Chains A and B, each alone.
Chain A
Amino acid sequence: MRGPNPLTTARTLASIKARNESAWLLPVSSPDVTERMRRYEDDDEVDLVIVGCGAGGSTVAQRLAREGWSVVVLEAGPFWEPERDWVSDEAGSHHLYWTEPRVIDGEDPVPLGSNNSGRGVGGSMVHFAGYAPRLHPSDFHTDTLDGVGADWPLDYEDLRPYYEDMEEELPVAGQDWPWGEPHSYPHSPHPVGGNGEVFLRGAENCGIEARVGPVAIANGRFGHRRHCIYRGFCLQGCKVDAKASPLITHVPDAIVHGAEIRANSTATRIEVDERTGLATGVHFVHGGVERFQRARNVAVAAYSIETPRLLLNSSSQRFPNGLCNDFDFVGRYLMVQGAPQTGGRFEDEVRMYKAPPPEVSTEQFYETDPSKPYKRGFSIQTVSPLPITWAEHIAAQGHWGRDLRRRMSDFVHWACLGALCEFLPLPENRVTLDSEKDRRGMPVAHVTYSRGGNDKRLMKAAQETMEQILHAAGASEVMTIQRYAHLVGGARMAADEEHGVVDADCRTFAVPNLFITDGSVFPTQGSANPALTIMALAARTAARLAAGARQGVRRPTEAFTLQKES
């Protein structure tokens, strides 16, 4: 464990830089980065082609490019230029989200798009709030410990060093963390705004422990990144480069180490050689033209919906029900976290739009409490909806017309907390292919979701606790809306092929040179936000690949290693 905050000494900075120089290469648009980017031919058999340049994909690209692998990342969305493409505005940030058609179904259909998935280089983290908590050690054994969910084929200890690395690279700011495995953060906590203040006061008044952080927003000197200006638009993409996203934390280093980030390139099918049983590359569409990138290894990191969709769409004679789907696991055990949000009204002005929405959290209710009528738990965090999102909250309470306007005029008096409830993995919650097709002729994802009894009880308990905190802080009125957040699962990790799609190294059981390196592999989700774990897991997979620890992996040839400019 590291020492007290802040400990970003010159020595630590040097060691981060030696591992990942991204923060010192910014801005991404500088000619030194983008213009020098290497380009591969479709016919080059690269060491690794990665689908998706988000949390998982970018991390693997950066790690393996550094190891001398030739890497091409296919990214469906654009290569963002923050100053040109992003705005300090809610409605104007619509293009950051994955807005291609998807169909939602089930007893509790989960709205997608702006609610949970992004596009473009950097993936969903471009508009993620910025919370970067770790999972707890118990999360890896919920079946053994609590008789629910599933055990992971790896332990917390396997991920710990990668958590520590990622917390330095993003970097993460926060108070010393007492929950899960206690740890501290490389950057000290940020000052809080009105919403964080309300949470801290309410929690203290009712004996609940709350802490500032953990947020992936640099606090202090970090490469060329500027300091947070507390403008509150984190969910619209941080134009300041204060909040982490792979676009600034991993992509620059990947590029200078020879990776090609091929934007506006949508993968449509993974090709597998029926004779050898190995993946040979990826079909993709770029500018309306179908192309094929040859590769010795393939990693899919296209997000929990698009990853299963791509596998299901890659059926063949050998895999009639979709790639890696011999045991009917692809698309199943998809999970969202129950994310009710509770607002509280204060006579004083809270102005929750100031400061980053992620400020303060508590994980006091994270673990199973035997005295409660449910297993596992929830966390509570500040969330600070901007006007449009807040209007949707008010509308969800049944208000409209003049009544909506009147309630909206009260915006500056409200504080808002959000919970993350650990919903359990259920096989019926799944991604399938719809009969509707997208503009490329590929069937769109059909996402079915229904909550179980434990899920509903958790959501109720989380709501009661948030209401209690806000009342204790002095709220005169509270209101709650039911929401969901953070999709993971859909290609779960397991001990063997009869229980999942990939092994502990994220390698698919069915195709030895095919990997899945995004949130799809989570067997359970805890009540932590997923991005840090996705990155830590991807970094671990990359380290295992680089070490050539697994038989069957097709290692880079010397010729490719020598070609590298760097």
Chain B
Amino acid sequence: MTLPLPEDDGGGRFPGLRTLELRDHWDEATSSLILSRVGRPPDVCFFNAEEEGIAAAMLDQLVGQEGEPRVPLVNVVDARLAAGETDGWRYADLPEDGEVWRRSVRFIDEDARERYGVGFADATAAQQEAVLEAVHRTEGQWHGMPAGHVWNLWLRYACTAFYAHPWAWDEIGFPGPAYPRGYSNLGVGRREHFEVRDAHPGEQA
């Protein structure tokens, strides 16, 4: 599977890299973990149905996911919140992570309704982006929470869920787990036979 990403946005740089096809070279513990990420997504149980729809749209926007196939971000984040799997700290001016997420989806939905007269999940992609960008640009409080700290939390959860997925690794040229095989060609410009050369190396970030 390849995630849909236009070339202008960095798609297609590592043609043929399929990290999952390297799985015979992974140890058992790692292999079963990574395969679980491409298996059936965990059922949503922390968010209620309405929250799920809003959170799914929001997470997709945060990492620019449009169209299928997609990494099931809402399921992954929901499972983390249900299990209380935090990063091991919270800002003193925010409640615990699960509560921040619940409030966030409610407020982001309110923002969308106020601006466009539709709920966040039903808004167009451009509208969703504008609602999120407004939070990103907020200095100070957003619905009674410090906007910068909330934004940081959203991005941490979204990035962790997305860049843990083998399809996302294919997109950035990262070959994934490396035990027990390891690497033997170290150094600038050197590749293993299973690594794929960047087809557009001149692209500036």
Closest to A106 in B: B92
CB proximity to A under 8 Å, residues B172-205? 172-174, 176-184, 186-191, 195, 197-198, 201-205
The answer to whether B87 and A406 touch across the interface, beta carbons within 8 angstroms, is: no
The answer to whether A194 and B187 touch across the interface, beta carbons within 8 angstroms, is: yes
| Complex interface bits, A337-352 against B, C-beta within 8 A gives 1, otherwise 0 | 0000000011111110
Pick the contact of B91 from A109, A193, A408, A409 — CB < 8 Å? A109
The answer to whether B182 and A87 touch across the interface, beta carbons within 8 angstroms, is: no
A231 vs B10: C-alpha distance when bound (angstroms): 26
B36 to chain A, nearest CB (A): 10
A14 vs B160: C-alpha distance when bound (angstroms): 46
**Is the CB of A373 closer than 8 A to any CB of chain B?**
no
The answer to whether B201 and A411 touch across the interface, beta carbons within 8 angstroms, is: no
B56 to chain A, nearest CB (A): 15
A99 vs B162: C-alpha distance when bound (angstroms): 21
The answer to whether A102 and B88 touch across the interface, beta carbons within 8 angstroms, is: yes
Closest to A99 in B: B88
Closest to A239 in B: B179
A237 vs B126: C-alpha distance when bound (angstroms): 42
CB proximity to B under 8 Å, residues A66-119? 83-92, 94, 97-105, 109, 111-114, 117
A470 vs B10: C-alpha distance when bound (angstroms): 24
Residues of chain A within 8 A (CB-CB) of B89 are 101-104, 111-113, 447
The answer to whether A406 and B182 touch across the interface, beta carbons within 8 angstroms, is: no
Residues of chain A within 8 A (CB-CB) of B173 are 349, 351, 409, 411-412
Residues of chain B within 8 A (CB-CB) of A446 are 92
User: Known: A113-B87, A395-B155. Contact between A405 and B189, CB under 8 A?
Assistant: no
A339 to chain B, nearest CB (A): 16
Q: How large is the interface on B (under 10, 10 to 19, 20 to 34, 35 or more residues)?
A: 35 or more
B138 to chain A, nearest CB (A): 13
A235 to chain B, nearest CB (A): 13
**Is the CB of B13 closer than 8 A to any CB of chain A?**
yes
The answer to whether A408 and B88 touch across the interface, beta carbons within 8 angstroms, is: no
User: Known: A103-B89, A193-B186, A408-B171. Contact between A402 and B9, CB under 8 A?
Assistant: yes
The answer to whether B27 and A409 touch across the interface, beta carbons within 8 angstroms, is: no
The answer to whether B159 and A392 touch across the interface, beta carbons within 8 angstroms, is: yes
The answer to whether B88 and A87 touch across the interface, beta carbons within 8 angstroms, is: no
User: Known: A99-B85, A104-B89. Contact between A347 and B201, CB under 8 A?
Assistant: yes
* Count of chain A residues near B, Cβ 8 A: 76
The answer to whether B5 and A101 touch across the interface, beta carbons within 8 angstroms, is: no
Closest to A393 in B: B159
The answer to whether B205 and A406 touch across the interface, beta carbons within 8 angstroms, is: yes
Residues of chain A within 8 A (CB-CB) of B178 are 88, 229, 231-233
A-B pairs with beta carbons under 8 A, tally:
225
User: Known: A387-B172, A388-B163. Contact between A401 and B33, CB under 8 A?
Assistant: no
The answer to whether B171 and A84 touch across the interface, beta carbons within 8 angstroms, is: no
CB proximity to B under 8 Å, residues A334-388? 345-351, 353-355, 386-388
The answer to whether B183 and A112 touch across the interface, beta carbons within 8 angstroms, is: no
**Is the CB of A165 closer than 8 A to any CB of chain B?**
no
User: Known: A405-B10, A405-B171, A406-B9. Contact between A88 and B159, CB under 8 A?
Assistant: no
Residues of chain B within 8 A (CB-CB) of A89 are 30, 33-34, 164, 176-177
Residues of chain A within 8 A (CB-CB) of B86 are 99, 101, 113
**Is the CB of A198 closer than 8 A to any CB of chain B?**
yes
A389 vs B2: C-alpha distance when bound (angstroms): 22
The answer to whether A100 and B30 touch across the interface, beta carbons within 8 angstroms, is: no
Q: Which of A408, A414, A446 has the largest number of chain B CB atoms within 10 A? A: A408
Q: Which of B9, B62, B176 has the largest number of chain A CB atoms within 10 A? A: B9
The answer to whether B180 and A114 touch across the interface, beta carbons within 8 angstroms, is: no
**Is the CB of B129 closer than 8 A to any CB of chain A?**
yes
**Is the CB of A240 closer than 8 A to any CB of chain B?**
yes
**Is the CB of B64 closer than 8 A to any CB of chain A?**
yes
User: Known: A387-B168, A388-B163. Contact between A350 and B29, CB under 8 A?
Assistant: no
The answer to whether B183 and A355 touch across the interface, beta carbons within 8 angstroms, is: yes
B175 to chain A, nearest CB (A): 8
The answer to whether A400 and B62 touch across the interface, beta carbons within 8 angstroms, is: yes
Give 19 new A-B contacts, CB below 8 A, not counting A92-B164, A230-B182, A413-B198. A83-B27, A85-B29, A86-B29, A87-B30, A88-B177, A89-B34, A98-B88, A105-B93, A113-B86, A114-B87, A191-B186, A229-B178, A231-B182, A239-B179, A387-B163, A387-B172, A406-B8, A406-B9, A408-B171
> Measuring CB to CB, which residues of chain B are less than 8 angstroms from any residue of chain A?
5, 8-11, 13, 26-27, 29-30, 33-34, 61-64, 85-93, 96, 129, 132, 136, 155-156, 159-164, 168-169, 171-174, 176-184, 186-191, 195, 197-198, 201-205
Task: Pick the 7 closest A-B CB pairs, nearest first.
Answer: A113-B88, A229-B182, A409-B10, A91-B164, A231-B178, A88-B177, A105-B92
A-B contact pairs, 28 of them (CB 8 A): A86-B29, A87-B27, A88-B177, A101-B86, A101-B88, A101-B90, A103-B90, A103-B91, A109-B91, A112-B88, A192-B186, A194-B188, A229-B180, A229-B183, A232-B178, A349-B173, A349-B191, A351-B173, A388-B163, A395-B159, A400-B64, A404-B63, A407-B205, A409-B11, A409-B172, A410-B203, A412-B174, A446-B92
> Measuring CB to CB, which residues of chain A are less than 8 angstroms from any residue of chain B?
83-92, 94, 97-105, 109, 111-114, 117, 191-194, 197-198, 229-233, 239-240, 345-351, 353-355, 386-388, 390-392, 395, 398, 400-414, 446-447, 476-477
